[in-house]
Chains A and B, each alone.
Chain A
Amino acid sequence: MPLDGRETRPEAGEARPEAGAPHVVIVGGGGTGGALAHDLTLRGLRVTLVERGEVTSGTTGRHHGLLHSGARYATTDRAAAIECIAENKILRRICPGSFEENDGLFVAITDEDADYEKGFLESCWQCAVPTRRLEREEALRMEPGLNPELQFAIQVPDATMDAMRVPLRFFATARRNGADIRPFTEAIALTVAGRTVSGVRVRDHASGREYDIGADVVVNAAGPWAGKVAALAGVSVSIVPSPGVMVAVGGRHCNMVVSRLHPPGDGDLVLPQRQRTVLGTSSWLVEDPDDLAAPADHVETMVREGAALVPAVAGAEIRATWSAARPLIGGAGEGAGRNLARALRCFDHATDATPMEGFVTIAGGKATTLRAMAEVTADVVCAKLGRVRRCETAEVVLLPHAAWYSA
């Protein structure tokens, strides 16, 4: 019987912030910030999170909703693939009911795709991503929406998720455990004394009020906006906002996640989201993550390449086109976003060439690895504060997303 989120009584964890425990302020209410608030709260710290808009209103909510098996990265970025399959398993366990456990198919259409198979299977095996080879007829039986000209397909444990509701479970659980989550509250300055960050000045857009929040550590979890937040403290981080275009067409034209069996490229993904089908994605670089268009030629590419996998999307009505900015790590002049690492990195700015105490930036990563990003960051924060407390987020089952909206 499929899970519907009610079978397991959520255990929200038992930690409550200890009175007098150090106070951590997180800037950025995306998936990473939410998962970090949850992790730090379980480790007994006092946590306040500020976000300029609604939670998940930046990159997180715009995600196409693929829970990666890691197969997409196996040939090009082994570390990312290994991390994805590990987190894929953990998230299914701690977020029961939040995924369509529909698996994915990597589809070979051309001879060039077919030639990619050997390296792909080897890489998946080395990264412990399970695979199963399906002949053409078997693949079409499973997923009748596929291009009938396919040669064969490889089944992998991809899944689809709701890009907002999975992170909401972290926010809901963190708040239940004592974290103070403040949406519509924008960090407008960082309080810097000498070479130490000691707090955040915020503007509450719901009331118009400005005030200061003191902090033992401030964590910059602003995703593609991390460069802007770091600049508030005069700190430089090499985050490159790299948008990708996505297209939603009317109708549910496949039930599984369908990817092209070839190296990562534009428009190689088709997946179902409720009664729509989402096509993605592309990659370029921008300076300002608020400056996101969905260029018409990218949209055309998504539909053309998507139709090569699932032909019905070509005739479907385009219901939405949008872009989301990935927070990639790199420097200027490193070319198109695909060459930049999808890896995550946590910067303790106390170790910068020009040190800044009390300030940490988490950057990079992807939706599937939000929990791992939080774990790495919480380890750094705890080490700075001299606290030894094991990470528990891989075991604690999260409250359902609706708990975020409970009074």
Chain B
Amino acid sequence: MSVLLRVSRSKQGDRERHFDDFDAAVEPGATVLDALLEIRRHRDPSLVVRHSCLHAACGTCGIRVDGRERLACDTKIAEFPADKLIRVEPLANQRLVADLATDMVDFFARFEAVGMPQVRAAEVPGEAVPPEGIKAFGRFENCIECGLCLSACPIARTNPAYIGPAALAAAGRVVDEPRGREPGPVLALAAEPDSVWRCHDALECTAVCPSAVEPAAAILGLRRHVAYDGLKRMLGHRGA
């Protein structure tokens, strides 16, 4: 089958972006990433697109498809009406490298401020007894650091200083499950002006998250903690 893509293009030094239209031959069941790689292979080897795992585990291939934040590898061509032109653009609210690739440096700088909890404690299914020799039934954190939430966030669009949904979701995790860490500094960070109170509950982050992290719910939970922590400190201060 064939698919028609309208691809945002820009190289370093270009003053503005333009769009190139490509049709790509793809297998039934193909994804938008399959189509982009087909274009790179047969039509334009200069197309810059980030990708790695091809199964929504690495979070590298985030783009906007018809205006919506998606992982290109997790977006089937068949979702769109046949013969429809599919528009693909880089993520918003992040620095552009070229074409469809964005630089994740700013995203990670926000994320790192709250620590990078990568492995989470067991959610042991059923009656499993962790065996001797196994250190833990740990598992990788659900967040795959793809940046879709930051791109979709209307607050991040107007306020580049806003710490953003992924980092706040990570902060929520540290507070909920400190695992030996002191949550105080994270709560202090969350209480700052461009943090939890800046969120206007647009819920776009949760809508686009490909990994069911639900940043919006985490932000709501974190607000309660921040408010309670603030109240506690105020009362403690008065009592002193």
A163, B58: Cβ atoms closer than 8 Å: yes
B12 at interface, CB cutoff 8 A: yes
By secondary structure, the A interface counts as loop
The docked-state distance in angstroms from the alpha carbon of A162 to that of B49 is: 21
Q: Which of B99-150 contact A (CB under 8 A)?
A: 101, 104-105, 107-109, 111-112, 115-119, 121-122, 124-131, 133-142, 144-145
- Of all chain B residues, the one with the shortest Cβ separation from A134 is B131
Q: B97 and A142: CB pair below 8 A?
A: no
**Chain A residues whose C-beta falls within 8 Å of the C-beta of B212 in the assembled complex:** 275
- Could you tell me if A290 and B108 are in contact, using CB atoms closer than 8 angstroms? no
Q: Is the CB of A54 within 8 A of B118?
A: no
Question: Is there contact, CB below 8 Å, between A184 and B101?
Answer: yes
Q: Are B51's CB and A54's CB within 8 A?
A: yes
Q: Find out whether the CB atom of A144 lies under 8 angstroms from the CB atom of B131.
A: no
Is A273 interfacial (CB-CB < 8 Å)?
yes
Of A41-49, A93-101, A262-270, which binds chain B?
A93-101
Is A57 a contact of B50 with CB atoms below 8 Å? yes
Q: Say whether A246 faces chain B, with CB atoms less than 8 Å apart.
A: yes
Say yes or no: A5-B119 contact (C-beta < 8 A), given A62-B53, A145-B125, A206-B48.
yes
Q: In the assembly, what is the distance between CA of A400 and CA of B54, in Å?
A: 23
CB distance from A357 to the nearest CB of B (A): 30
Task: Write out the residue numbers on chain B whose beta carbons fall within 8 Å of the beta carbon of A405.
Answer: 104-105, 107-108
Does chain A have a CB within 8 A of B8?
no
Chain B's interface: helix, strand, loop or mixed, by majority? loop
Tell me whether B137 and A255 are in contact (CB under 8 A).
yes
B45 to chain A, nearest CB (A): 7
Given known A101-B138, A405-B107, contact A206–B125 (CB-CB < 8 A): no
- Chain B residues lying within 8 Å of A103, measured Cβ to Cβ, are 131, 133-134
Does the CB pair A1–B105 fall under 8 Å? no
Q: Are B55 and A102 in contact (CB under 8 A)?
A: no
B117 partner, pick from A4, A101, A134, beta carbons under 8 A:
A4
**B54 and A320 contacting across the interface, CB-CB below 8 Å:** yes
A164 and B142 contact, CB distance less than 8 A: no
Q: How far is the CB of B187 from chain A (nearest CB, A)?
A: 18
Are A402 and B55 also in contact (CB < 8 A) when A205-B48, A206-B11 are?
Answer: no
How many chain B residues sit at the interface, stated as a range, is: 35 or more
Residues in chain A near residue B108, CB distance under 8 A: 402, 405-406
| B73 located at the interface, meaning its Cβ lies under 8 Å from any Cβ of chain A in the complex | yes
Residue of A141, A255, A278, A407 with highest tally of chain B CB at under 10 A: A255
Number of contacts between A and B (CB, 8 Å)?
182
Q: Is the Cβ of A319 less than 8 Å from the Cβ of B140?
A: no
Decide: A255 and B13 in contact? CB cutoff 8 A. no
CB-based contact B139/A132 at 8 Å: no
Q: Which of the residues A5, A290, A293 comes within 8 Å of B118, measured between beta carbons?
A: A5
**A1: which of B13, B53, B134, B179 is its contact (CB, 8 Å)?**
B179
Report yes or no: B125 in contact with A144, Cβ–Cβ below 8 A: yes
Q: In A139-157, which residues have CB < 8 Å from any B CB?
A: 141-145, 155, 157
Q: Does A321 contact B (CB under 8 A)?
A: yes
- Residues from chain A with a CB closer than 8 A to the CB of B112 are 402, 406
Cβ–Cβ contact A275 & B27, under 8 A: no
Determine how close the nearest CB of chain A comes to the CB of B70; give it in whole angstroms.
14
- List 8 contacting pairs A-B, 8 Å CB cutoff, sorted by A: A4-B117, A100-B140, A102-B139, A141-B127, A142-B129, A164-B53, A165-B118, A274-B144
- Having A205-B98, A206-B12, A276-B56, one finds 18 other A-B pairs with CB under 8 Å, namely A4-B118, A53-B49, A98-B118, A100-B139, A141-B128, A145-B125, A164-B52, A184-B48, A207-B11, A207-B98, A252-B125, A255-B137, A255-B139, A273-B55, A274-B139, A274-B144, A275-B211, A290-B41
Q: Which 4 A-B pairs have the closest CB atoms?
A: A61-B52, A320-B55, A405-B108, A144-B126
